Structure 1
Amino acid sequence: MSNEGIIPAGTPEAPPSPAPAGSIVVGHDGSTDADYALTTALGLADQLHAPVVIVRAWSIDTAPKPANWEFGYVSSFAEYSEAVRAAVIEDTAASVHAFPGVSVDYRAVHSGAAKSLIEASREARMLVVGSRGRGNLAGLLLGSVSDQCARLAVCPVLVTRKRPGR
């Protein structure tokens, strides 16, 4: 069943607050390119003794169903956000555990990916993104998330690309 036309109860989240100054922000949408960007960000953070903030942007169409979801019940924005946060924690656990000395925070942001990452990285040391994500036709028409971040973020942006065979 499609979630199209369903408006969750509650109020959408406010724009994301910036990540702590000096942190490394990394976008993670669940793609293999995002996994590579995360590993790169964690490696840099380990060397620089910087915290990492993992950001996942979401919409109703991309969010997993909340734990309390059932047919006929419309979950709140907070419930969807918690489901997305739980998913990003699960999706990134192996990479995060490989860097036990790095402090990690997770953010699920109800907004477009580029906007979420640019806002979250306003005070960051660096923003790390993969060269390709789970984009679609809109990405082709509007420009990729990595391109928008490279053009509009106020901090340095590292766009990672995994080489074949690595």
Structure 2
Amino acid sequence: MNAKPVVVGVDGGPDSLRALAWAAEYASTAGAPLIALTAVETPAAVGPYAMAGWVDPSILEDRAHTMLTDAVRDTLGHEASVEQIVVRGHPAEAIVAASKDARLVVVGNRGRGGFAGMLLGSVSQHVVPHARCPVVVLPHQHADQDRGPGQ
């Protein structure tokens, strides 16, 4: 019987990199495979000037692959055993879909597009009630939390 994987959503932002590190440690301890998942959402092109800002989806996917590879290497090292997956679609929906076969889903509190003051980012807000397995949401770490007491 294969162990169910730990799935972590990665968008390259600081919270997702912390989630990746946490998920890797958990997966190692639990003896579970680790899947780092990135979703590429192709913006809808609307209106007569849409083609001026249009980006080929394959270019977006290539950038996502590069970002994911760099994030895994920089966070976990060259020898990390991580399945890296890039899918097309909304990040929250991609993570929820992956949760159907997962042991655990890990996400950061806020992604690259997070608004200051939000308790949870839009992806984590969607994933928590819709996932088909337990979810860990790592809290956002402010710059002043990096320093120890009295520093």
Q: Indicate whether the TM-score tops 0.5.
A: yes
- Deviations along 1:116-165, one digit per CA (max 9) or x if unpaired, are 1011121100000001112367xx8xx71111111000000000025412
Contact 1:57 1:113 in 2 (8 A): yes
Among candidates 39, 42, 46, match of residue 21 of structure 2: 39
Once the 2 structures are TM-superposed, how far is the Cα of residue 103 of structure 1 from its aligned partner? 2.6
Q: Alignment partner of 1:25: what SS? A: strand
Cα separation, 2, equivalents of 1:124 and 1:86:
24
- The reply to whether residue 49 of structure 1 matches residue 59 of structure 2 is no
- The reply to whether residue 165 of structure 1 matches residue 146 of structure 2 is yes
Contact 1:37 1:128 in 2 (8 A): yes
Contact 2:41 2:91 in 1 (8 A): no
TM-score, length basis structure 1: 0.67
Query: What is the identity percentage for the equivalent residue pairs of Structure 1 and Structure 2?
Result: 31
1:54 partner amino acid = A
Once the 2 structures are TM-superposed, how far is the Cα of residue 78 of structure 1 from its aligned partner? 4.6
Once the 2 structures are TM-superposed, how far is the Cα of residue 95 of structure 1 from its aligned partner? 1.7
Which residue of structure 2 aligns with residue 92 of structure 1?
A: 72
Cα separation, 2, equivalents of 1:123 and 1:21:
10
Contact 2:3 2:33 in 1 (8 A): no
1:156 partner amino acid = P
Q: Alignment partner of 2:111: what SS? A: coil
Regions of 4+ moved over 3 Å: 77-80
- The reply to whether residue 125 of structure 1 matches residue 107 of structure 2 is no
Once the 2 structures are TM-superposed, how far is the Cα of residue 91 of structure 1 from its aligned partner? 2.3
RMSD: 2.7
Contact 1:34 1:129 in 2 (8 A): yes
- The reply to whether residue 115 of structure 1 matches residue 96 of structure 2 is no
Q: How many residues align?
A: 130
TM-score, length basis structure 2: 0.73
Once the 2 structures are TM-superposed, how far is the Cα of residue 83 of structure 1 from its aligned partner? 3.5
- Deviations along 1:23-81, one digit per CA (max 9) or x if unpaired, are 000001111000110010001011111111111111245xxxxxxxxxxxx74x45542
2:87 partner amino acid = V
Contact 1:52 1:105 in 2 (8 A): yes
Which residue of structure 2 aligns with residue 81 of structure 1?
A: 61
Q: Alignment partner of 1:159: what SS? A: strand
Q: Which runs of 5+ in 2 are unaligned?
A: 44-54
Matches within 5 A, 1:20-31: 22-31=4-13
Once the 2 structures are TM-superposed, how far is the Cα of residue 82 of structure 1 from its aligned partner? 3.5
Which residue of structure 1 aligns with residue 134 of structure 2?
A: 156
Cα separation, 2, equivalents of 1:145 and 1:110:
15
Normalized per residue, the structure richer in helix is 2
